[in-house]
Amino acid sequence: MTVTVRVPAKVNVQLAVGGARADGFHDLANVFLAVGLYDTVTATPADSLRVTCSGPDAGQVPLDRTNLAARAAVALAARHGLSPDVHLHIEKDIPVAGGMAGGSADGAAALLACDRLWGTGSSRSELLDICAELGSDVPFSLVGGAALGTGRGEKLSVLEVGGAFHWVFAVADGGLSTPAVYGEFDRLTAGADVPLPVASPVLLEALRTGDAAALAGALVNDLQPAALSLRPSLAATLAVGAEAGALAGLVSGSGPTTAFLAKDAEAAGSVAAALVASGTCRTARVAQSPAAGATVVDVLSRD
């Protein structure tokens, strides 16, 4: 049997970051929105655990047991006393180390694929527990749509979304390390009174009503100053998107991908063209949200 799962990227429409906790993590009010850029993970029985990856950025993806897809298989197998003998193939379309949760997406997808392949029949809440062990963003990749993540981002409450939003993502050269960006946030806020992170009622209402202009006015990312400090060239990308008519732009999560909200599909096309022409990013991608979470799209039986 072969099981294929499709899983979306995310953008953080609000990322409110509190002070560093004793365990090194930061409490968040993290409003996740899944966007229609997808990886697919295919799980096939094998003699041992093996990860392969295809796609233009495949060379940047680790293929050892640090890969989040491999870690997901190991975690599920351990819970059931199984050996994680599976071939996981990742077709990577989500930018790598770009603040779009591509690794987390592959973790959630592999978990769902292996659960189906091995017939382990995990409940939704068991799957979500394993996701949270794998990383703060992994539960959201399973759930998709839109959700508020509290704690370190792993405790989710699903949010209503009243319409489609049109995005442009400017993909930067190279990645940014998430711990390094949180570390820079700590350095920039040292000595300051960091407020408790809370979700913005205006932003939640804009999502609920599908109002792009209102959402644009409420977009906020507390990690943006840290990402800009580590990668000052992102300011030029943000300026190009604004001049090209985006309703608003911000750094996606820990970056360095920048995300621009557009009025409609046509406006998104012109913002993308302007970003590519400016030479301030490696490429630009258009995508809509919300998108469904990790979903089994194909099951092939051998017989």
Ligand X SMILES: Nc1ncnc2c1ncn2[C@@H]1O[C@H](COP(=O)(O)OP(=O)(O)O)[C@@H](O)[C@H]1O
How many Å apart are CA 123 and CA 118, to the nearest integer? 14
Task: Tell me the closest approach of the beta carbon of residue 15 to ligand SUD, in angstroms.
Answer: 6
Q: Are the beta carbons of 168 and 259 closer than 8 angstroms? A: yes
- Of these, 4, 43, 106, 275, which contacts ligand X (CB under 6 A)? 106
Residue 96 as a binder of ligand X (CB under 6 A): the answer is yes
CB of 11 to ligand X, least distance (A): 11
> Hey, which residues does 91 pair with through a beta bridge?
40, 54
Q: Which of 10, 39, 57, 92 is catalytic?
A: 10
Q: Is 137 a catalytic residue?
A: yes
Cβ-based burial of 18 (10 A; exposed 0-12, middle 13-18, buried ≥19): middle
- To ligand SUD, the closest distance from the beta carbon of 11 in angstroms equals 9
Please say whether the beta carbons of 116 and 86 come within 8 A. no
Counting contacts by CB under 6 A, is residue 149 touching ligand X?
Answer: no
> Judged by CB under 6 A, does residue 12 bind ligand SUD?
yes
239: Cβ contacts below 8 Å, ≥ 6 apart: none
Half-sphere exposure of 35 (CA within 13 A, CB side): 28
The site string for ligand X over 56-95 (x = CB under 6 A, - otherwise) reads: -----xx---xxxx--------------------x-----
Q: What beta strand segments (E) does 199-303 contain?
A: 220-221, 248-251, 258-262, 283-289, 295-300
Task: Report which residue's Cβ sits closest to ligand SUD.
Answer: 253
Q: Which entry of ligand X, ligand SUD, none binds 4, CB below 5 to 8 A by partner kind? A: none
For residue 192, which phi and psi values (nearest 5 degrees)?
-90, 160
Binds ligand SUD (CB under 6 A): choice among 39, 57, 106, 137: 137
Task: Please give the positions annotated as active site.
Answer: 10, 137
Interacting residues with ligand X (CB under 6 A): 61-62, 66-69, 90, 96-104, 106, 175, 178, 254
